Chains A and B, each alone.
Chain A
Amino acid sequence: GENVEQHPSTLSVQEGDSAVIKCTYSDSASNYFPWYKQELGKRPQLIIDIRSNVGEKKDQRIAVTLNKTAKHFSLHITETQPEDSAVYFCAASRSGGGADGLTFGKGTHLIIQP
């Protein structure tokens, strides 16, 4: 089955700086890669996703890049703000909504230092 590795497990950045979280996946059939943000005591919420036919996607301060050949994808947050502090999860799926579900990385605790 799919295996998703996520690094780093903790990331501390100064407010206003950029943050980068990296993931690798093992299943070459995976074609959907979402990123979720989870605040303490809350549900995971989708912040951005990318499909295997696209190399990069951007939404305001958040961008995701995908390298299919190397089987890795990354989340980039620019101009970080205190409200960006949370745990971020990458995930991979073969079907982007189908019954195989999502395989998650182990999460990155992002801390924004004021």
Chain B
Amino acid sequence: DTAVSQTPKYLVTQMGNDKSIKCEQNLGHDTMYWYKQDSKKFLKIMFSYNNKELIINETVPNRFSPKSPDKAHLNLHINSLELGDSAVYFCASSQAHRGSGYTFGSGTRLTVV
């Protein structure tokens, strides 16, 4: 069983389009995240979300928005895609205060052309 799963694995789209990436975790964790890994392999947090709060990295453009239908899902919506949005996006989850670490999904490689 995959603990944190993302779809799609690859996404190629044109500039200006709107797209979504889905994430689901079956670990029973209460906190989920989106990270962006750029072409230089730098991993940076974009959002974290649990039942109580959404924390947004202030450097993330408001074209990006997380949507959580329930505790096990955190989807990422991106509007008006730009070339610079091309990256690998990783979903992750953790259990706050348990300190058991973070589990990452397999990533979605987004290419904007």
Q: Residues on A close to B: CB < 8 A?
A: 32, 34, 36, 38, 42-46, 49, 51, 87, 89, 95-104, 106-107
Contact = CB atoms under 8 A, between A and B. Distances in A.
Q: On chain B, which size bracket covers the interface?
A: 20 to 34
A87 to B, nearest CB: 6
Given A98-B31, A101-B45, A103-B45, A43 B96 contact: no
Contact of A32 (B41, B99, B103, B104): B99
A67 B41 CA distance: 27
A99 B31 contact: yes
Given A43-B90, A106-B41, A97 B98 contact: yes
A42 B96 CA distance: 25
Contacts of B95: 97
Contacts of A45: 104
B99 to A, nearest CB: 4
Interface string B26-39: 00000101010000
Interface of B: 31, 33, 35, 40-45, 48-50, 53, 55, 90, 94-107
B96 A95 contact: yes
A42 B101 CA distance: 18
Contact of A99 (B35, B42, B50, B99): B50
